[in-house]
Amino acid sequence: MIDWFVNTLRTYPEIAIFLSLALGYYFGSFTYKGLGLGAVTATLVAAVIIGQIGITISPPLKATFFLMFLFAIGYGVGPQFVRGIAKDGIPQALFAAVVCVFCLGAPYLAAKFAGYDVGSALGLYAGSQTISASMGLGTDAINRLGLPPEETKRLLDAMPVAYAVTYIFGTVGSAIVLALFGPALLGIDLEAECKRYEAEFGGKKELGGAGTAWHHYELRAYRVREGGPVVGKTARAAESLIPEQRVFIERIRRGGKIEDATADTIIEAGDIVAVAGRRDVLVSLIGHAAEEVDDRELLAVPAEGVDVLVTNKEANGKTLAELAQWPSSRGVFLRRIARGATATEIPILPNTQIHRGDILTIVGRTQDTAAAAKALGVADRPTDVADVAFIGAAITIGALIGALVYKVGDVPFTLSTSGGALISGLFFGWLRSVRPKFGRIPTSTVWFMNSVGLNVFIAVVGISSGPGFVAGLQQLGFSLFLWGIFATTVPLVLAMYVGKYVFRFHPAILLGCCSGARTTTASLGMINDRAKSQIPGLGYTVTYAVGNTLLTIWGMVLVMLMT
C-alpha cells in the first residue's frame, strides 16, 4: 500500500502538490495567542517531507503560479503604492524605503560574516524578513548566473532550508520586538498615545454593527409639537440644531400622507418625522425632548449598506469632515473604511483622509447611498465574476516587458518575467482605482491568486529540494537560527528609532508604520491588541505597499550583491 502511494506521487506529481497544500493550510491554521506557522511555512515543511521520496516537477508550473501571485500582490497594493510615492504619503513611503534598506543590509551582513553561499543568504533574507515572494525573483537571478546545473541546483536547494529555519522567528520575533518591546524601547504608553490621538482628532472606538443586537445607527419616529424648536424650519436647519452630530430627517407623515423629506422640506407642527442618526443621540437627546411614535409604515424606509470604491479625484485627500459637507453625503452614515491589499481597517475620525482605492461601507436610504456612491466613485457590489481577459492580458504585458534584457556595457539588466508581472500589477491595480470600468477582480479571487499562487510555488520548491533539505540543515546548524534573530531584530529596532527621531511620526502610528514597512501583519494585530485601538493601522497601508514591493525586489538585488 505504501509503495503504491509513493509510486503514485512520483508518477503524478500534481497529487503531491495538492497534498502539500492540504497539509500546509490545515496545520498552518493553528495558532497560539495569534501566532502560528502560517500557510506558507507549513506548506513548505509538508512539501519538504513529501519531497524526500524523490519527485520531479516540471519547472514551468512553478513560474506560472508565481507570476499569478506577483500580479495579485501588485494589483492589491497598487493604489496605495502610487499614492505613497506621489503625494502626501511621501514621508511614510520614504520611511518604508529606508526600513527596506535595513532589511536588506542586515541579512547581507549576516550572510557575509557567516560565510553562507548565495542560496543560503537568499533563504536567510526571505525567512528573517518573512517575504516569501523574494525567493521567486531570487531564483530567477540565480538561474541567470550561468553556473553549472549541479551548482545551480545546490544553491536553490539551500534556499528553502535557510528560509524554513529563520521564518519562525521572523514571524514571532517581529511581533515580539514591535508589540512587546517596542513601546518600552520608545518610552511610550501605546494605549495612552492612541487615546490622545483619538482625542486630538475627535474619534472614539465604535461598537456594534452587523451580527450584534446593538446597532450604531437607527431610525425613529417623533411627533413635532406646537411651538417646538423645529417648527417652520427646513429639514437641514432642523438637523443643524444638534451640532457636531449627523442626524437626518428622512420621511414625514403629514395629514395621513407619507413623503420623503429633502433638505428644503419645511417642518410643521403635528408632523411625524422619521429621524436617522446615532442611537445615543436619538435616545438621549431627541428622545428626552420629543414624543416618540411607533409608526411602522413611516419607518419602513428602503435602506441598504453598500461598499463604495473611491475613484473620484475630488474626494482624494479630503477628510471625513470635509466630505460630510457635500450635498451627496446627506442621509448616509459611514460604517467602515478598508484600505490596501490587506483590507486594513482605518479609524473613522473627522480628520481621517480618504484616498482613491479605499473601500467605504456606507448605510442609509437606497436613494441616498446611490447618490453618495456616484459622488465618491462606484458601488462595489459583491460579485463572483472576475475579468479573466484582463488578468491574462495584464500578466502577459508585464511578463513581456520583464523578459527584455538591457545591456550596460557587458552587464545585462532585466526585470525578469516575475518583476514585470509585479510592476504590471502595481500599474493596473492603480488604474482600476481611478478607472473602474474594467479590470474587476473580486476580493476572493485576489486572495486565491495571492495565497494559492504563492503556496503552489512554495510547494514545488519544497518538493524539489526535499532530498537536500536534511543535509543542508545539518551543515548550516543552529548558528543559522541565531543569524536569523539578528537579521530580524536589527532592522526593526533601527526602524523604530528612525521613525521617532528622524521622521517624527506620531507615537500612535509609529509602530504601525514599522509593521507595514516590514509587511508583518502578525505584529500589527498584536500592536492593535496592546493599544486597544485600530489607530496604529493608519501607519500600515502606505508603508506596506512600498515595503511589499521593495522587499520582493530585494530578492534579486541580494543575489547581485552576493555574487
Residues 345/534, Cβ–Cβ less than 8 Å: yes
Is residue 334 within a helix (H) or strand (E), and if so which, with residue range?
strand 332-339
The winner for highest mean pLDDT among 107-116, 267-276, 287-296, 524-533 is: 107-116
Number of structural domains the chain divides into: 2
Same domain, 431 and 521: yes
Say yes or no: 448 and 510 in one domain. yes
Q: Which of 289, 309, 343 is the last residue of a domain?
A: 289
- Give the residue with greater pLDDT, 205 vs 158: 158
Of 375 and 242, which is predicted with more confidence?
375
- Chain segment 419-442, per-residue pLDDT in tens: 788 789 888 988 887 777 778 888
Average pLDDT over residues 24-53: 80
Q: Which range scores top for mean pLDDT: 63-77, 167-181, 430-444, 489-503?
A: 489-503
Residues 86 and 154 in one domain: yes
Structure confidence at residue 164 (pLDDT): 80
d(CA 163, CA 252): 65
**Per-residue pLDDT, 488:** 94
- The per-residue pLDDT for range 66-77, each reduced to its tens digit, is 789 878 877 877
Mean of pLDDT values over 491-518: 92
Q: What pLDDT, on the 0 to 100 scale, is given for residue 214? A: 39
Mean pLDDT computed over 518-543: 79
The type of residue at 319 is T
Residue 143 sits in the same domain as residue 274: no
Same domain, 408 and 458: yes
Structural domain contains residue 249: yes
Are 48 and 174 in the same domain? yes
- For residues 184 and 232, state if they share a domain: no
Class of residue 27 by CB neighbours under 10 A (exposed 0-12, middle 13-18, buried 19+): middle
% of the chain with per-residue pLDDT over 70: 89
Q: What is the pTM of this model?
A: 0.67
Q: What is the mean pLDDT of residues 370-375?
A: 91
Per the domain annotation, does 69 fall within a domain? yes
Same domain, 163 and 50: yes
DSSP state of 234: B
- Is 88 found in the same domain as 7? yes
**pLDDT for 205:** 43
* Mean pLDDT (whole number) for 88-111: 91
Burial 209-219 (b: 16+ CB within 10 A, else e): eeeeeeebbbb
Average pLDDT (467-477) is: 67
Chain-wide mean pLDDT for the chain? 83
Q: What's the confidence (pLDDT) of residue 212? A: 40
What confidence score (pLDDT) does residue 55 get?
86
Q: Does pLDDT of 207 surpass 60?
A: no
Q: Which of 241, 263, 289 is the last residue of a domain?
A: 289
The DSSP symbol for 181 reads I
Residue 271's nearest CA partner among 291, 244, 252 is 252
Within a domain: 217: no
Can you read off the three cell numbers belonging to residue 63?
Answer: 513560474
Confirm whether 324 is domain-assigned. Answer: no
* Domain-embedded: residue 462: yes
d(CA 533, CA 278): 21
Residue where a domain terminates, one of 289, 311, 326: 289
Q: Please check whether residues 187 and 48 belong to one and the same domain.
A: yes
Show the cell assigned to 445: 479571487
Contacts of 428 (CB under 8 A, 6+ apart): 74, 75, 78, 390, 394, 439
Are residues 317 and 355 in contact, defined by beta-carbon separation less than 8 angstroms? yes
Q: Residue 515 in contact with residue 551, Cβ under 8 Å?
A: no
Q: Which domain range does residue 46 map to? A: 1-196+386-562
What CATH number did the domain enclosing 231 receive? 3.30.70.1450
192 shares its domain with 270 = no
**In the prediction, which pLDDT does 295 show?**
83
The reply to whether 145 falls in a domain is: yes
For residue 137, is it within any domain?
Answer: yes
Whether the predicted pLDDT of 108 surpasses 50: yes
Q: What is the mean pLDDT of residues 147-170?
A: 85
The band of 289, judged by pLDDT with boundaries at 50, 70 and 90, is low
Nearest CA among 234, 321, 309, 311 for reference residue 273: 234
Q: Which pLDDT score is estimated for 532? A: 80
Same domain for 79 and 10: yes
Phi, psi of 364 (to 5 degrees): 160, -175
End-to-end CA distance of the chain: 47
Q: Is residue 261 assigned to a domain?
A: yes
Helix runs in 12-146, H state only: 13-28, 38-51, 59-86, 90-114, 118-128, 134-143
H or E element, residue 151: helix 149-175
